[in-house]
Structure 1
Amino acid sequence: MNVRPERDFNVDELLDLYASVGWTSYTGSPDVLTKAIANSSFVVAARDQGGTLIGLARGLSDDASVFYLQDIIVRPEHQRHGIGRQLLTACLERYRHVRQKVLLTDDDESQRLFYESFGYVRTVDFEDAPLNAYVRFDS
């Protein structure tokens, strides 16, 4: 398996990866997905020995004060093999100089434990200063 920054993706391989984890908000709008990937600050891909895309992480950053992890995806049949950990490590290493690293994720125990293992803290549990997180989704 190979994990490295990447920019050039075939739209079909992206759609196949996102569909494998049920992210239909992306697969229903291929143009939006390809634009989102192209406009991301950093994209790292995991490919198997045959070159098949099996994972991807992408984020947005001002490269000074904040990094926002937008997507981290690993095909279900490849999950629990350290690929997600390698993808997130690559992102955090790229933005190691940035103080604030933010993400939104599902309210799922395994995801919480995964991100906490990297030092992430839910805003409700952050003790250094009171924090709230807000999100707005427009249709």
Structure 2
Amino acid sequence: MVGLGNAISDGYLVVYFPHLLVHPELHWQGIGRRIIQTLLEHYSEFHQKILVADQHATGFYHALGFSRAGKTEAMWIYQGTDY
């Protein structure tokens, strides 16, 4: 497998793209761009298309037509804790 992307939707109005993964050795070959374009085409009639991007990937998504929602910042991820 060279890459994958997935979507979660309500089937009509909102779609969320939680994952886009491309094998590190295959970055910069247009694979991620094609995966996102395919997802956007499939969900083209949906009112909202949402994703959460790593801070380092925001330029990639901006180039594909996504924009920051308000003053949002990259989300934090739970890494576990020692209680």
CA distance in structure 1 between the partners assigned to 2:30 and 2:76 by the alignment: 32
Question: How much identity, in percent, do the aligned residues show?
Answer: 31
What is the TM-score when the length of structure 2 is the normalising length? 0.81
Which residue of 21, 36, 42 maps to 1:73? 21
CA distance in structure 2 between the partners assigned to 1:89 and 1:112 by the alignment: 16
The answer for unaligned runs of 5 or more in structure 1 is 1-52, 126-131
With over 3 angstroms needed to count, the CA separation of the structure-2 counterparts of 1:124 and 1:82, relative to structure 1, is same
Deviation above 4 Å: which 4+ runs of structure 1? Answer: 135-139
Q: What is the RMSD of the two structures over their aligned residues, measured on CA atoms?
A: 2.1
The answer for unaligned runs of 5 or more in structure 2 is none
More helix by share: 1
Alignment size in residue pairs: 78
RCO higher in 1 or 2 (8 Å CA, sep ≥ 6)?
Answer: 2
What is the TM-score when the length of structure 1 is the normalising length? 0.50
What's 1:124 paired with?
70
Q: Deviation digits for residues 32-86 of structure 1, max 9, x if unmatched?
A: xxxxxxxxxxxxxxxxxxxxx1100001011211110010000000010000001
* Secondary structure of the structure 2 residue equivalent to 1:91: helix
